[in-house]
Amino acid sequence: MSDDDFKATEITRKPPAPPDPNQKFWDLADSFIQLANENCKGATLGQVCASMMYATARFNAFTASNDAPSDAAFRADLDNAVTYFRTEFDKMLKENFSDYAENFKSYNPEKS
């Protein structure tokens, strides 16, 4: 190999990717899914699904009340808070249903 053929860019390593600022979000979501999967060993899918929705609704109410400066402010903002959580859940639900529709066979190989 001659010096004319040498290209330094071919041997340099790419810099490491910056850490994902959403990694904690994904780790938490995975831990909740893992807990739900574990709970399916002693309950039906419907029971686990319904209890997760209830727990999410309950925690969302807690979060909104915790962020409110007062009882009056919490009550005054109820509709806005419910709209926010409903809109965000709707986006996540549609995204996940689309993902499962596109990957149905790989997510459910026993049904292929």
**Could you read off the pLDDT of 8-67 as tens digits, one per residue?**
555 566 778 888 999 999 999 999 999 999 999 999 999 999 999 999 999 999 999 999
CATH topology of domain 41-112: Helix Hairpins (1.10.287)
Terminal C-alpha separation, the chain: 53
**Orientation of helix 78-102 relative to helix 45-67, angle to 10°:** 140
> Quick one: pLDDT band at residue 96, thresholds 50, 70, 90?
very high
Q: Residue 13's pLDDT is what?
A: 66
DSSP 29-63: HHHHHHHHHHHTTSS-HHHHHHHHHHHHHHHHHHH
pTM: 0.77
Quick one: tokens of 17?
């990717």
The answer to whether 101 and 94 are in contact (CB under 8 A) is: no
Distant-in-sequence, close-in-space partners of 103: CB < 8 Å, separation ≥ 6: none
> Quick one: pLDDT band at residue 2, thresholds 50, 70, 90?
low
User: Strand, helix or coil at 84?
Assistant: helix
What's the rounded Cα separation, in Å, for the pair 85 and 102? 26
